């Protein structure tokens, strides 16, 4: 047998064992997900648990679509945050808006994706695929958002992280009044000091209600440049002094790009030497050949400087439905990794941006008016 052939056949022998029904999630992942995307899900579980959750790693989570109305905020994301496994978040506004329904005590119901939507409209029932809820849930959630956004502390320009943090305090108080168990991703992030950014703050009902306040004379506005600088500063801090940066991407879309663009911002725009994210974990059902960023692979991200080329072995893309992959990954991490102290990155935002400015000045590009040609 040639040395090359020995190398090709050096992987662990496939030795499947029958399921008994008594397996834990950890057992199932380790012993039964042996090939195809099952194996990718096993590799993703190992990457998250064994490397990304090391004490020196900072984990950024991107969350697309509307995962929270399906209950994934409560079942998976809140436990991950409380365990110190998620340090900062970029989410669609939809996830944060629909998260509020649970915290405010409103009911969402199992339904069918095959019901006549004209009938649903006539009965004023909202459908998110197979999730049903009363139209009144939207109206009452909107009223809560407008009431909160009208408070004096919101009457200025702020980053989306600050808005969500301040909103989280009001959500937490409402949960206490209802004497309910923890239901809100937003209030959990507030308590744990995990900053939540929205890459497209106007693209959700949450943003629509903020826009309504502007028509009514409110002064609240979002500082999107502040969001870019704060997220960039988080990643630069994570990489300094031998630390590592990992991205955990659920789905794709704008949140995926926003969490990844931190590295091109450091290297390309600010001119600060850096090597890209160390760990890349994505759950997606998108293909790379259709031109959508959601399917862009880690190797493609290397060409942008988003991922460290020397760390490609620590990159896993699992082509699986997020509503399947996220709970399994969360359960595996919670069942195998030690809890980590909360980094409370929200509390460090000003100092972190200050260090970014210092690094920018040190490379000599600060304040330059570059011209073409």
Catalytic residue list: 306
The CA–CA distances, whole Å, from 67 to 73, 323, 325 equal 7, 7, 12
- Distant-in-sequence, close-in-space partners of 151: CB < 8 Å, separation ≥ 6: none
- The DSSP bridge partners found for residue 315 are 280
The CA–CA distances, whole Å, from 239 to 7, 41, 263, 371 equal 34, 26, 10, 30
* Structure tokens that stand for 20 in this block: 């008994």
Which residue intervals of 179-265 are DSSP H helices? 185-192, 205-215, 224-239, 253-260, 262-264
- The DSSP bridge partners found for residue 58 are 245
Nearest alpha carbon to residue 278 among 78, 70, 108, 54: 54
Identify whether the C-beta of residue 99 lies closer than 8 Å to the C-beta of residue 184: yes
Helix axes 160-178 and 224-239, enclosed angle (nearest 10): 90
Helix axes 25-32 and 322-336, enclosed angle (nearest 10): 110
- The DSSP bridge partners found for residue 222 are 158
């Amino acid at each position: 047998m040639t040395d090359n052939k020995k190398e090709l056949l050096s992987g662990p022998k496939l030795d499947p064992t029958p399921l008994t029904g008594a397996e834990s999630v950890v057992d199932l992942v380790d012993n039964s997900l042996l090939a195809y995307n099952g194996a990718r899900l096993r590799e993703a579980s190992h990457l998250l648990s064994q490397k990304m959750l090391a004490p020196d790693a900072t984990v950024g989570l991107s969350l697309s679509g509307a995962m929270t109305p399906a209950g994934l905020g409560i079942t998976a994301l809140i436990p991950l945050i409380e365990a110190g496994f998620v340090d900062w978040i970029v989410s669609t506004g939809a996830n944060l808006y629909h998260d509020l329904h649970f915290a405010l005590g409103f009911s969402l119901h199992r339904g069918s994706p095959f019901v006549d939507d004209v009938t649903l409209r006539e009965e004023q029932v909202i459908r998110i695929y197979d999730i049903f809820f009363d139209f009144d849930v939207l109206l009452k959630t909107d009223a809560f958002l407008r009431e909160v956004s009208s408070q004096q502390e919101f009457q200025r320009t702020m980053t989306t992280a600050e808005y969500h943090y301040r909103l989280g305090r009001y959500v937490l108080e409402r949960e206490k009044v209802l004497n309910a168990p923890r239901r809100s991703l937003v209030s959990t992030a507030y308590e744990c000091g995990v900053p939540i950014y929205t890459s497209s703050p106007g693209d959700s009902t949450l943003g629509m209600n903020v826009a309504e306040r502007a028509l009514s004379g409110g002064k609240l506005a979002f500082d999107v440049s502040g969001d870019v600088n704060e997220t960039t500063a988080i990643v630069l801090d994570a990489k300094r002094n031998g630390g590592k940066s990992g991205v955990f991407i659920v789905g794709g879309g704008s949140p995926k790009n926003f969490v990844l663009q931190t590295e091109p911002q450091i290297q390309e725009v600010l001119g600060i030497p850096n090597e890209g994210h160390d760990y890349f974990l994505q759950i997606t059902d998108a293909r790379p050949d259709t031109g959508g960023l959601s399917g862009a692979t880690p190797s493609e991200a290397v060409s942008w400087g988003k991922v460290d080329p020397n760390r490609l072995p620590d990159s896993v893309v699992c082509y699986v439905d997020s509503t399947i992959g996220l709970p399994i990954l969360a359960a595996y991490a919670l069942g195998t990794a030690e809890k980590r102290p909360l980094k409370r990155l929200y509390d460090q935002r000003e100092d972190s941006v200050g260090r970014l400015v210092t690094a920018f000045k040190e490379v000599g590009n600060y304040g330059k008016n570059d011209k073409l040609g």
